[in-house]
Amino acid sequence: MALDTARERRHVLIEMALRRARPGTGSSMEFYRRRDWSALGVDLTSIKTPFAIVGAVATRLYMPERVTHDIDLFVPRASEPSISDELAQLGFTKQGDLSIGGSTWTNANGAGLALIASTDPWASEAVAATVRSPDGLPIVRLPYLVLLKFKSSRSIDVGDLSRMLGLASDEALVEVRTIVSTYQSEDLEDLESLIALGKLEFGAEDTNMR
């Protein structure tokens, strides 16, 4: 089977997970309710260009922290020049370009980050609607993190999605469904499957399931 697109990869992973999932087979709910926040080791507080932290770091607000040294910043493409200038002023050096749009950077201490410059129609909206981490950094809201993980759909992304969606409140799921319906309605069926997988893992029921 050809798996040339993110959507095709996601379908296969979801189908495999649905065949194997059993109620309540995850870790304890006490573990899943934990929300740890480790310092990034990079001071981004002086950056004036609006941005959102995405990727593995962002998942810390929505599920238990998994170890990562990756820092991913997300901006609309129009903001790329200004935030690039600010990163250079902070001592970062550009290392290369990203195929998805944006660039990679490192500083003198070896800390690296990826700057994702997006042309998605919701990019500005995602940056304007961030939530704050415990140390005040702008973190992408769950619905836009879902859209971003849909775009890559690696096995780790599908796992992150099912856990975050399974742990999300009913109110958060309403927001996720609304945003996905607005910008990526063709993926609503996958969204519902991932919600169901997450709820099944935690032995919970989603009263909003259709």
Residue 30, CA distances (Å) to 56, 96, 166, 200, 202 in order: 21, 42, 14, 16, 11
Fold adopted by 46-140: Beta Polymerase; domain 2 (3.30.460)
Tell me, what's the pLDDT at 111? 86
The proportion of the chain whose per-residue pLDDT surpasses 90, expressed as a percent, equals 52
The domain limits of the chain are: 46-140, 141-200
Q: How high does pLDDT run on average in the chain?
A: 84
pTM of the model: 0.81
User: And the tokens for 138?
Assistant: 């702008």
Worst-scoring range by mean pLDDT, 15-19, 40-44, 137-141, 160-164?
15-19
Tell me, what's the pLDDT at 196? 87
Worst-scoring range by mean pLDDT, 28-37, 64-73, 106-115, 159-168?
28-37
Tell me, what's the pLDDT at 16? 62
pLDDT band at residue 19, thresholds of 50, 70 and 90?
low
